[in-house]
Amino acid sequence: MKPLPRTMGALWLAALSLSVQAADLSFTQALQQAATQAAVLRQRQAEVAGATSAMVAADALPDPKVFAGIDNLPVQGADRFTLNRDFMTMQKIGVMQEIPNGERRQARAESAKARAAQAEAALRLAEVTVNTETATAWLNRYYLQQQRARLEELAQENRLWQGVVQSQLTSGKTSAADALLPQQEALTLATRRDALERDIRRADAMLARWTGDTGGPVTPTGEPPVFNVDADHLRAHVHHHPALAGYEPLTGLAQAELHEAQAALRPDWAVEVGWQHRGPDFGDMVSFQVSADLPLFSRTRQTPLIEARRQALAGVEAEREDMRRDHAATLESELAEHEALSRELDRLQQQALPLADQRVELQRAAYEGGRADLGMVLAARRDRRELQLQILELTRQQQTLAARLHYLYDFDEDAAP
């Protein structure tokens, strides 16, 4: 019988040595590191700062305009193109200030305030997303590491089985065909190891995505938090989903735009003051002028825009309700999945695992009493290892799902595990 390929064993030992050299990272450290390293948070923080700064100038008057020019310049006769011979010719300079009506300025201030609130809501959503993704990435990495250890134990069981089968083949107690079974099992385990190492590398990359580049893989340390799921509590807090929180400022922005469109029915004003200089034989003059918009054709200008803004507001409110229903449906689906995982885990831990332990003990007693061979004992132990691997995988799925439910629907720093 051929031994386990050396290259395959070398790869497995290399993977284990990498895990030993990896940096330690606890669950709390991962969340803290992500809070300072996640680039999306810096982006959202910059957007909040920009939107807050824009509020200062939102309802300010437009910049005044300066004007200069010449009035009544002669273009014919003896005085053509002269500036100081005709009493009507004047060089002028002045300033003009536009004054939007108060309702329009107030609406612009409301729009700026709503945009700042929208940026803050986007920041909160980003914070929850970073916490959610970091938590699930760390939990994935932790349970994959546990599976790696269990898989190595299973490989050790198979190596013991190979020795027993080889002895039985030598003594004529088994056939050559049966002697191939441990080798086939070794190949299956090698394939599972490759898939597991692939998943671990993916988990490392995802964890680095949120915590920043640490220069290499990390090793999750400490016990993972346990996220308990209270279905009724989550259903009552489905409207706390951070994506829904962003609709409140979005509604405020739509309302402010509607108010600004309605303000266009009232005139804006402008004030102009000028100094007019004439020739030395004539005195200088001052001019003063007030102008106002005339919204005389509101039926074809302002009214259609007002209706468009009103429909946009209704669309935002309908979109918010649609998203609420979508999250409610998603929550029910995830709760059903969590309940199914919990029931299956309970069966495996409370019933299947004790039966597997009992089977191992019975086979060991039978072996010691000469009623069974060692291969049967090892087979029972392999089955128990497989069951432990299955429990770890289901626990990984259950806890990552519970973490997502916690952070998305019921996140509270003080209540976090």
Tell me if 104 sits within 8 A of 263, measured CB to CB.
yes
Angle at 156 between CA 150 and CA 157, to 5 degrees: 90
Written as six digits, the tokens of 46 are 């910059």
Structure-token match 């002895």, residue found: 167
Q: Does domain 6-61+102-264+301-409 have CATH number 1.20.1600.10?
A: yes
**Are 185 and 161 spatial neighbours (Cβ–Cβ below 8 Å)?**
yes
Q: How far, in Å, CA of 287 to CA of 273, rounded?
A: 6
Q: Domain residues of the chain, as ranges?
A: 6-61+102-264+301-409, 64-99+267-297
- Tokens linked to 318: 């309908």
Contacts of 51 (CB under 8 A, 6+ apart): 112, 115, 116, 118, 119
d(CA 374, CA 362): 12
Query: What is the full DSSP assignment across 138-194?
Result: HHHHHHHHHHHHHHHHHHHHHHHHHHHHHHHHHHTSS-HHHHTHHHHHHHHHHHHHH
Tens-of-pLDDT digits for all 417 residues of the chain? 334 344 344 444 444 444 445 678 999 999 999 999 899 999 999 999 999 999 998 889 999 999 999 988 888 888 888 888 888 889 999 999 999 999 999 999 999 999 999 999 999 999 999 999 999 999 999 999 999 988 888 788 777 767 776 776 677 655 566 666 667 777 888 888 999 999 999 999 999 989 886 666 778 888 999 898 999 999 988 888 888 988 999 999 999 999 999 999 999 999 999 999 988 888 899 999 999 998 888 888 899 999 999 999 999 999 999 999 999 999 999 999 999 999 999 999 999 999 999 998 898 788 667 787 666 777 888 888 889 889 999 999 999 999 999 998 875 544 445
Helices (H), 22-66: 27-37, 39-54
> Residue 191 is which amino acid?
T
SS3 414: coil
- How would you list the strands of the sheet with 65-71, edge to edge? 65-71, 90-99, 269-277, 285-292
